[in-house]
Amino acid sequence: MPALLDRIRSKDAKVGVVGLGYVGLPLSLAFARSGFEVLGFDIDPAKIQKIAAGESYIRHIDAPAIREATSRGRFAATTDFSRARGEDCLIICVPTPLTAAREPDLSFITGTGESLAPHLRAGQLVVLESTTYPGTTEECLKPILEKSGLRAGADFHLAFSPEREDPGNAKFHTAQIPKVVGGMTPACLEAAMALYGAAIDRIVPVSSTRAAEMTKLLENIYRSVNIAMVNELKMLCHRMGIDVFEVIDAAATKPFGFQAFYPGPGLGGHCIPIDPFYLTWKAREYEFSTRFIELAGEINIGMPLYVVQRTMEALNELGKALKGSRILVMGIAYKRDVDDMRESPAIRVIELLQERGAEVAYHDPYVPAVPRMRAHKVDLRSVPFTPAELARYDAAVIVTDHGSIDYQALVDAVPLVVDSRRATAKVTRHRERIHVA
């Protein structure tokens, strides 16, 4: 399909991005900045309206970037999937959560495939970016798209390229992050490399879509396992009377053979808490047990309970029971200085505190209200960070260490602070009120 390659190289190709969330929106803007005409697709009309108005619905993505792209005619958005026929390249960036049984939920991928198939035409390139188990592109998405009567690899190109977004990371933007690409055929790979190469600095080709799918899982499993290890060491160090952060900082001075990972209240975000379970599920098909990965998952899943137990112990030292105590959870986004709530461990901390009879509130400067979630029902709004409000609580539990919080003021105002993120390291007054969890 040389015509497609020519259109991509001249940047006359039209690019459609399906799913305008934390991955799809910055990717759309990256292609628009590089000179392509981009059409975003999403089932949420509110996102379409905000893009048309030049507004951002993701904190770390600036509204001026959206306004610039839309005003120049480089970016628009729609809920009408029939317009996919007019696009030369279609990139799928939809969620891949877990079911209640911690098994892969591919409903967003299959639903997108069903929406696109009636409008697919010969000569197009379709790329899946959603993180998933090896084989998804060819075993799941391909048959759905071929309901169009077109054959992948012959009539249209099919590829997989894992997203590598890190929300809130000011050092690396979409265009600067190397892009792994795997195609169903050599021609599919060539088309996908040409597309991403026109907007992203470095392309890393691999031999197949399955290799590309496995690459993303390895990246996140690597982090999951190492975080689980330091989380386990944190619990051991507490019993031994050792400061685990001091130990990690000391070990990090070694100039080779060591990379520092830090403990916390559990894992959040759409990748690390979820992706390892995609591989453990797929491994069963090959009669293989991924025991190391599953153990890491168990440790990380259990960290919110550990934080709650440490809170109970700290309250007991003050002669208070958790039941009936007023607890302020500080930060509920899954990581510092973002408004992203996906898989945040703070929600589980709140639930566990409520189950044990505590009266719970939260403060987060970036999350004014707990959004609707598939697996949780927490109906709370952020309370103000004022001396009068802080004085109402028996304890504060720091779950997310936002940089804009005055932690000295928090420690001054609240009798007990349970810190699971080392956020109070620079606090000087009333350090006796701080318990590390």
Looking at residue 421, which CATH number applies to its domain? 3.40.50.720
Position 60 scores a pLDDT of 87
Residue 322 carries which side chain, given as an amino acid letter?
Answer: L
pLDDT digits 0-9 by tens, 356-374: 999 999 999 999 999 887 6
Mean pLDDT over each residue of the chain, to the nearest integer: 95
Whether pLDDT at 315 is above 90: yes
Dihedral angle over CA of 302, 307, 309, 311, nearest 10:
-170
- With respect to residue 383, please indicate whether it lies within any of the assigned structural domains: yes
Whether pLDDT at 304 is above 70: yes
Q: Count of domains in the chain?
A: 3
- The span from the CA of 143 to the CA of 166, in Å, is 31
- Would you state the structure tokens that stand for residue 360, as one six-digit string? 């719970």
CA distances from 172 to 147, 164, 166, 322, 435 (A): 39, 10, 8, 42, 34
Task: Note the residue count of the chain.
Answer: 437
Sequence-distant contacts of 114-117: CB under 8 A, at least 24 apart: 114/144, 114/147, 115/81, 115/84, 116/18, 116/81, 116/84, 116/90, 116/145, 117/144, 117/145, 117/146, 117/147, 117/148
The CA-based angle 79-84-85, given to 5 degrees, is 145
- The span from the CA of 433 to the CA of 300, in Å, is 27
Position 50 scores a pLDDT of 97
- 227 and 308 assigned to the same domain: no
Of 183-197, 266-280, 288-302, least confident by mean pLDDT is 266-280
- With respect to residue 279, please indicate whether it lies within any of the assigned structural domains: yes
pLDDT digits 0-9 by tens, 46-105: 999 999 999 999 988 999 999 999 999 999 999 999 999 999 999 999 999 988 788 899
- The span from the CA of 151 to the CA of 343, in Å, is 37
Whether pLDDT at 203 is above 70: yes
- With respect to residue 56, please indicate whether it lies within any of the assigned structural domains: yes
pLDDT range class, residue 139, cuts 50, 70, 90: very high
- 89 and 162 assigned to the same domain: yes
CATH number reported for the structural domain that contains residue 229 in this entry: 1.10.1040.10
- 265 and 325 assigned to the same domain: no
Mean per-residue pLDDT for 326-331?
98
Strands 179-183 and 157-160: antiparallel
Whether pLDDT at 396 is above 80: yes
- 71 and 179 assigned to the same domain: yes
pLDDT range class, residue 267, cuts 50, 70, 90: confident
3-class SS letters over the chain: CHHHHHHHHCCCCEEEEECCCCCHHHHHHHHHHCCCEEEEECCCHHHHHHHHCCCCCCCCCCHHHHHHHHHCCCEEEECCHHHHHHCCEEEECCCCCECCCCCECCHHHHHHHHHHHHHCCCCCEEEECCCCCCCHHHHHHHHHHHHHCCCECCCEEEEECCCCCCCCCCCCCHHHCCEEEEECCHHHHHHHHHHHHCCCCCEEEECCHHHHHHHHHHHHHHHHHHHHHHHHHHHHHHHHCCCHHHHHHHHCCCCCCCCCCCCCCCCCCCCCCCHHHHHHHHHHCCCCCCHHHHHHHHHHHCHHHHHHHHHHHHHHHCCCCCCCCEEEEECCCCCCCCCCCCCCHHHHHHHHHHHCCCEEEEECCCCCECCCCCCCCCCCEECCCCHHHHCCCCEEEECCCCCCCCHHHHHHHCCCEEECCCCCCCCCCCHHHEEEC
422, 262 contact by CB (below 8 A)? yes
pLDDT digits 0-9 by tens, 46-58: 999 999 999 999 9
- With respect to residue 166, please indicate whether it lies within any of the assigned structural domains: yes
- The span from the CA of 197 to the CA of 361, in Å, is 47
27, 17 contact by CB (below 8 A)? yes
- 144 and 278 assigned to the same domain: no
- 34 and 162 assigned to the same domain: yes
- With respect to residue 397, please indicate whether it lies within any of the assigned structural domains: yes
pLDDT range class, residue 378, cuts 50, 70, 90: confident
Whether pLDDT at 271 is above 80: no
- Domain region containing 137: 2-207
Last residue of a domain, one of 138, 173, 207: 207
- The span from the CA of 335 to the CA of 265, in Å, is 11
Number of Cβ atoms within 10 Å of the Cβ of 138: 19
- The span from the CA of 373 to the CA of 347, in Å, is 10
- 254 and 396 assigned to the same domain: no
- By percentage, how much of the chain surpasses pLDDT 70? 99
Give the chain's end-to-end CA distance (angstroms, integer). Answer: 58
- With respect to residue 248, please indicate whether it lies within any of the assigned structural domains: yes
324, 431 contact by CB (below 8 A)? no
Q: Quickly tell me which residue has 């959560």 as its tokens.
A: 97
- With respect to residue 37, please indicate whether it lies within any of the assigned structural domains: yes
- 361 and 261 assigned to the same domain: no
- With respect to residue 212, please indicate whether it lies within any of the assigned structural domains: no
- By annotation, the residues acting in catalysis are 271
Position 54 scores a pLDDT of 95
Last residue of a domain, one of 277, 299, 321: 299
Give the residue from 170, 216, 176 showing the smallest Cα distance to 196. Answer: 176
Mean per-residue pLDDT for 407-418?
97
Last residue of a domain, one of 231, 264, 299: 299
pLDDT range class, residue 1, cuts 50, 70, 90: low
- 90 and 163 assigned to the same domain: yes
- The span from the CA of 436 to the CA of 338, in Å, is 23
Position 99 scores a pLDDT of 85
**Can you give the pTM of this predicted structure?**
0.92
Mean per-residue pLDDT for 235-245?
95
- 66 and 86 assigned to the same domain: yes
- 67 and 55 assigned to the same domain: yes
Position 260 scores a pLDDT of 97
202, 178 contact by CB (below 8 A)? yes
- 381 and 335 assigned to the same domain: yes
- Would you state the structure tokens that stand for residue 367, as one six-digit string? 């999350």
